[in-house]
């Protein structure tokens, strides 16, 4: 083997080693970043943090990351997600607020099993594009949109959900759509399982403009 050929092959070996080292370094850095933010990351967040999408794909293919939904990844080393549908929705649609029957289920004041994730969005907001889970989108505005929001940190993701009292008021407002039997059951379970906050219930009843409808039921139950 002449000197030129040997030198060329040696350069290829060093170049290959350099690439492998770079990939390993990028993967390690990405894993550290994802762990630091709770174990779940969106592609847009990854890019802002300096992680190349190619690195995400490599970590996915190597089994280091699980893809929860298109553009949403989670560390494989972590325990299974307790509320995968809510995590996906919160990751893909950060401005969404979990509402109505989905919020009742979250607060454990219904026996209903939601077949869609009900979310509140501002009027005029772009309709979300999500293959899974199925969504039921409701347009809120003003105080009805912004009041009563709780932020729950679950499985490394911040999930916005209306508090129990705001949710009950919303359910009275949408009673014709979700069924009055569901609403009354939720009110009874709220009284049995939660601290009964009458003033807050009345406040959100006014906010949602259903005070006249809610008040007789509240008076009867207390």
Over residues 109-145, the pLDDT tens digits come to 999 998 999 999 999 888 888 878 899 999 999 999 9
Give the separation between CA 22 and CA 209, rounded to whole angstroms.
60
Phi, psi of 164 (to 5 degrees): -55, -45
Select from 1.20.1410, 3.40.50, 1.10.10, 1.20.1510 the CATH code of 3-75. Answer: 1.10.10
In the CATH scheme, what is the code of domain 84-221?
3.30.460
Over residues 136-177, the pLDDT tens digits come to 999 999 999 999 999 998 877 789 999 999 999 999 999 999
- CA torsion sign for 14, 17, 19, 21 is negative
Sorted by where each begins, the domain ranges of the chain are 3-75, 84-221
The pTM score is 0.72
Cβ atoms of residues 155 and 83 within 8 Å: yes
Q: H or E stretch including 150?
A: strand 149-154
């Amino acid at each position: 083997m002449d000197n030129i050929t040997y030198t060329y092959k040696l350069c290829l070996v060093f170049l290959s080693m350099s690439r492998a080292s770079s990939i390993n370094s990028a993967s390690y850095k990405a894993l550290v970043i994802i762990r630091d933010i709770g174990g779940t990351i969106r592609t847009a967040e990854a890019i802002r943090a300096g992680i190349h999408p190619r690195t995400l794909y490599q970590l996915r293919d190597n089994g280091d990351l699980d893809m929860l939904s298109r553009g949403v990844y989670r560390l494989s080393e972590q325990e299974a997600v307790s509320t995968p549908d809510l995590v996906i929705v919160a990751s893909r649609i950060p401005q969404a607020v979990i509402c109505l029957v989905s919020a009742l289920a979250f607060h454990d004041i219904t026996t209903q099993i939601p077949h869609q994730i009900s979310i509140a969005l501002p009027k005029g907001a772009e309709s979300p594009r999500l293959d899974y889970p199925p969504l039921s989108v409701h347009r809120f505005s003003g105080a009805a949109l912004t009041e009563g929001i709780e932020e729950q940190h679950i499985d490394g993701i911040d999930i916005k959900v209306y508090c129990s009292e705001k949710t009950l008021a919303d359910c009275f407002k949408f009673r014709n759509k979700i069924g009055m039997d569901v609403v009354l059951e939720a009110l009874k379970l709220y009284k049995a399982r939660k601290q009964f906050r009458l003033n807050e219930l009345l406040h959100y009843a006014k906010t949602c403009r259903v005070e006249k409808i809610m008040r007789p039921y509240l008076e009867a139950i207390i």
